[in-house]
Amino acid sequence: MAAALPALERAAQGAKVGAVLDFLRRSPTKLLIDGKWTAAKSGKTFETINPANEEVLALVAEGDKADVDEAVVAARRAFEEGRWRTITPHQRGRYLLRIAELIDKYADELAELESLDNGKPVAQARTIDIAGAAGIFRYFAGWPSKIYGETNPSDPGMFNYTLREPIGVCGLIIPWNFPLMMAVTKIAPALACGNTMILKPAEQTPLTAIRLGELLQEAGIPDGVVNIITGFGPGAGSAIAEHPGIDKVAFTGSTEVGKLILQASAGNLKRVSLELGGKSPNIVFPDADLASAVKNAMTGVFYNSGQVCAAGTRIFVQRDIYDNFVADLTAASERMTPGNPLDPQTRLGPVVSREQFDRVLGYVTAGRHEGARVTIGGEAVGGKGYYVKPTIFADVRNDMKIAQEEIFGPVAAAIPFKDEDDAVLQGNATTYGLAAAVWSRDIRRAHRVARALKAGTVWVNCYGVTDTAMPFGGYKQSGFGREGSRHVIDLFTQIKSVYVKL
């Protein structure tokens, strides 16, 4: 019966929100430059695929350097003319609140669109991604009126003060794992600080960013303040990273591409902040609440099909409890069966793309070759869609490929450790340093280990908790700069010192 449906209805089969189909029917979608939706100069488009059924959801404009050039001109003009930065802080805050309200208003539509484009369960998209995106705008709506400088009394003959000013034109390059939330994590603080910007969503998941562009217009954000260029990394992304007219790049994605961004920034010494990959250790001591540790180890690695930069992919368990813990984790994971993301009961969807599917299964093969033991999963579900069964490897050594490289799929490596020192040593034996967790009822040990772990975030007796009011970012090759909290204000502002002779 499905074959009888027109292509779009087939691709979006199961969608319940009429507005989603209306949005998809507008395909090919366009670029947002200077407040106008325009086709790419090259006329090119690319397909965005529903990972649950491998059907084409929409054709999307393929922006490249020529389009980025035009967007930079628009963003520069909007910045220099003061279309945004000179609006009073209170008014800017009200704009951000209005965007939050619009995200709430269209939340069901955005959640379904996100689920279709990314493959994540619609219930999670609704409660985490979309509600989270509105919450981020609300948090940053409070900031414009609280960004101010300092006075310095060191010389009585002078009046010395600082001004905290926006940086200018920002390039925001984001990945596909939390498409709307990643966009908002960068747009909201960039706007709060008075910047103008060019957003490049990931080519796998451009749809909610495009819809957000429409909502920004509905909220009345002036033309040219937020420009959106859909396209590929090497075309649109690298043009942003290299552009002499862009003052700052905020990037979230792979460590490999993060290094390219940093190199490309050298041309005009643009400011760079990088939120990159991880291989986070989740360390379980025998004195922990083990039932809770099992549950959180499971969601900590399988949430969003493991496509989370801070996923707890290396589960370290003290040797005495290792076998029992792995057995319990395996049993708990049996309930994590992948299903149709549009079904409200589904907790695990497909991975985002064919490329990611092949990559994840390649790591599963590598794990087997290296001698690790699969306790559950270890294969694709089969049939249509990029579904990978949740997979746990036991008897993993920390120097194996599956324990060192970021897989970005539902694959866990369970590794035994001897004692506290060994746990910390192995936990830190990685090039990454994004996040870590420790499970113990011994308060002294928990804090000792939290201090010893080289990671930008450490969870104690929980996993994956985030809060926009807390800084998030990496140690080591997980990047630099902190998003969220007052620390991100530093990333999107610069300080001017003013000396006045009295």
Give the residue numbers annotated as catalytic, written as ranges: 275, 309
CB of 111: closest distance to ligand ADP in angstroms?
21
Smallest Cα–Cα separation from 314: which of 490, 189, 436, 199? 436
Residues in the chain: 502
From the list 125, 212, 261, 437, which residue makes contact with ligand ADP (rule: CB under 6 A)?
261
Q: Distance between CA atoms of 466 and 139, rounded to whole angstroms?
A: 14
Stretch that binds ligand ADP, among 50-58, 147-155, 199-207, 218-226 (CB under 6 A): 199-207
From the list 144, 175, 179, 339, which residue makes contact with ligand ADP (rule: CB under 6 A)?
175
Angle at CA 34, nearest 5°, toward 30 and 36?
A: 40
Stretch that binds ligand ADP, among 97-105, 197-205, 471-479, 494-502 (CB under 6 A): 197-205
CB of 202: closest distance to ligand ADP in angstroms?
4
Q: Distance between CA atoms of 182 and 200, rounded to whole angstroms?
A: 11
In the chain the first and final C-alpha atoms are separated, in Å, by 83
From the list 200, 243, 270, 482, which residue makes contact with ligand ADP (rule: CB under 6 A)?
200
Pick between residue 144 and residue 464 the one whose CB is nearest to ligand ADP: 464
136-165: contacts with ligand ADP (CB under 6 A) = none
CB of 64: closest distance to ligand ADP in angstroms?
12
Distances (CA, A) of 212 to 100, 102, 226, 242, 406: 11, 9, 10, 25, 30
Q: Distance between CA atoms of 124 and 128, rounded to whole angstroms?
A: 5
Q: Distance between CA atoms of 83 and 196, rounded to whole angstroms?
A: 9
From the list 234, 267, 362, 371, which residue makes contact with ligand ADP (rule: CB under 6 A)?
234
Query: If binding means CB under 6 A, how many residues of this protein chain bind ligand ADP?
Result: 17
Mark 97-108 as b/e (b = at least 16 C-beta within 10 Å): bbbbebbbebbb
Pick between residue 203 and residue 328 the one whose CB is nearest to ligand ADP: 203
171 binds ligand ADP (CB under 6 A): no
Stretch that binds ligand ADP, among 17-25, 138-146, 257-265, 459-467 (CB under 6 A): 257-265
254 binds ligand ADP (CB under 6 A): yes
Place of tokens 């201090």: 451
31 binds ligand ADP (CB under 6 A): no
From the list 241, 294, 315, 407, which residue makes contact with ligand ADP (rule: CB under 6 A)?
241
264-293: contacts with ligand ADP (CB under 6 A) = none
Pick between residue 237 and residue 410 the one whose CB is nearest to ligand ADP: 237
Q: Distance between CA atoms of 167 and 270, rounded to whole angstroms?
A: 10
> Token pair of 225, please?
């303040």
Mark 238-269 as b/e (b = at least 16 C-beta within 10 Å): bbbbbbebbbbbbbbbbbebbebbbebbeeee
216 binds ligand ADP (CB under 6 A): no
Stretch that binds ligand ADP, among 104-112, 148-156, 253-261, 325-333 (CB under 6 A): 253-261
Indicate the residue whose CB is closest to ligand ADP. Answer: 233
Which three-class secondary structure state does DSSP give residue 113? helix
H or E stretch covering 271 = strand 271-275
37 binds ligand ADP (CB under 6 A): no
Stretch that binds ligand ADP, among 37-45, 76-84, 226-234, 436-444 (CB under 6 A): 226-234
12 binds ligand ADP (CB under 6 A): no
Peptide bond connecting 28 to the previous residue in cis, omega within 30 degrees of 0 = yes
Q: What is the largest CA-CA distance in the chain?
A: 84
183 binds ligand ADP (CB under 6 A): no
Q: 472, 484 in Cβ contact below 8 A?
A: yes
Which residues of the chain form contacts with ligand ADP (CB under 6 A)? 173-175, 200, 202-203, 232-234, 237-238, 241, 253-254, 257, 260-261
